[in-house]
Structures are given as structure tokens and as C-alpha cells.
Amino acid sequence: VLLENKRLSSRGEDVGSPRLHLVLVGNPGTGKTVVARHYSRLLFDLGLIPADKCTEIDKSHLVGKWQGDPETKAREALEKASPGVLFIDEAYTLNDPYSHGRGPGGAALETIMKAMEDRRETLVVILAGYKKEMDDLMSVNPGLPSRIGATIEFPNYSLDELMEIARRSASKQKLNLDAGAVETLNQILGGLLPKHDFGNAREVESLIEEAKRNQVNRLAPLDDMATSEERRTILQEDIPKRQQPKPKRVGFL
């Protein structure tokens, strides 16, 4: 669609200002931020925004301690991001109504929503977060869905994909996973996958980082006696433990 609009525009046809704002939904570590950065570069390359700039923020950048701060901070964030892309991670946290009206997050969101319409030719806003929470955010802000060009869902990686990420993460650090480490990682990741807030690639990279620290501590008593092969190998005992979800009980106690 973006390419077709650009082609028509180059021929002098009026295609209007396309709605380029996006909602990206999915668990952490599924690539939402990376896609936002690539999308920013694509829009610039296509001439749809005047700058290749992706400004990444969350609620903490928008909500201050004093009354009136949300609108001020939101305007500051918009000025910093424009022209370019404003990526708001965990955007569902802006859904914070008080019993007597909108909360500070809601006030900031209203300021951003106005800019999404007023600055369509210079600013693109991307909202990201968990699917259910983002669905709730869209449902309580009637004007928000009409401003969004598309919603893209990012599924969890499969277990095979997570294991490949683990191998690549280890390889970047010039490490190898022995058979026991692979088996343990496979069990841990398989147990963590069903979690609502599973971190996907982020969780895998964290596991490998912790395993590396455990390996260094394990080999420390050997000092210079540790072989280069031992220093390159992650063993089963190096893989950190992760608490896995307990199975739900069915029936009565």
C-alpha cells in the first residue's frame, strides 16, 4: 500500500495522507522494537516522513509528579520525536483512569492522539504492548482506533526458534552448549513458553548471560589450569534455574 501510494503520488495523483500509525501487540522479546526501527527507516526511504529517526519512550517519559505535567511532557516528547517516529512501549499503561476521571496517562495520550492527526505528514506514532492490554486501551479510547493504520500481532517464538536463538547468542560470545546444557535449556524454555509475560528472545539472552557468569565462577578455582575448551563450553550445571508455572488444579480439594 505504501509503495502504491508513493507511485500514484509521483504521477501527480492525490492520495491524501495515509494513516501510518501502528499498534504492535505481543509478548516482550518478540521483535516489536526492532520492527519499529526498521519501519521508521522504511518510511524515510519511501519519502513518507522527512527524517529517519525513531524516538523510543514509555509512560515514565510522559507522566510527571505534578498536575499538568502529562500534557507538558507529552508535548516535549512529540517535539523531540518530530519529524520521525515516536515509539511508545507498554503503551497500555497510559490507560489509567481515576474514579473521578482520566488519569495522567490518559491526559498524555489525549495530547498524543491530537498530534497523530495534526502532524500526520511529519510524525508517526507506534503503540506497543501485550495484546489483551492493548485491546483494552483501544476500546476505552474511541478516537484511537480510527487513527491507527494497522495492528500487527507478534506471536511467541516456537521452542525450536528459541533454541536457535540460544545457540546464536552463545556463539556470539564464542561459547558452545554441551548436550546437557541444550537439554536443560529445552526443558526450561518449554516450561516458560505458556507464561503470559514470557520474554522470548530477551529471556533466552538473559539465560545465556547468566550461564556465562556461572561458568566463569565454576572455572575460577582452576585459574590458568582451565583449558580453552573448558572456557568455551557451557555445561548443564551452568544453566540458571527458572521457576516454571505450576499446573492448575482441576476439581475440589
Q: Which residues of 202-236 are buried (b: 16+ CB within 10 A; e: fewer)?
A: ebbbebbeebbebbeeebeeeeeeeeeeeeebbbe
Q: Answer whether residue 157 shows pLDDT above 90.
A: yes
Quickly state the pLDDT bin for 112 (edges 50, 70, 90).
very high
Average pLDDT of the residues in 147-152 = 95
Quickly state the pLDDT bin for 1 (edges 50, 70, 90).
very low
Quickly state the pLDDT bin for 12 (edges 50, 70, 90).
low
Average pLDDT for the chain = 88
Instruction: Record the cell numbers describing residue 1, joined without a space.
Output: 500500500
Nearest residue to 143 (alpha-carbon basis) of 103, 116, 123, 104 = 116
Would you say 180 and 235 are in contact if contact means Cβ atoms under 8 Å apart?
yes
Q: What is the pLDDT of residue 173?
A: 93
Among 98-107, 109-118, 210-219, 233-242, the least confident range: 98-107
Q: What is the pLDDT of residue 68?
A: 64
Residue 10, sorted as left (phi over 0), alpha (psi -120 to 50) or beta, turns out to be alpha
Q: By percentage, how much of the chain surpasses pLDDT 90?
A: 73
Quickly state the pLDDT bin for 92 (edges 50, 70, 90).
very high
Q: Answer whether residue 253 shows pLDDT above 50.
A: no
Q: Answer whether residue 31 shows pLDDT above 90.
A: yes
The model's pLDDT over 93-103, given as tens digits with 9 standing for 90+, comes to: 999 877 666 78
The rounded distance, in Å, linking the Cα atoms of 81 and 253 is: 56
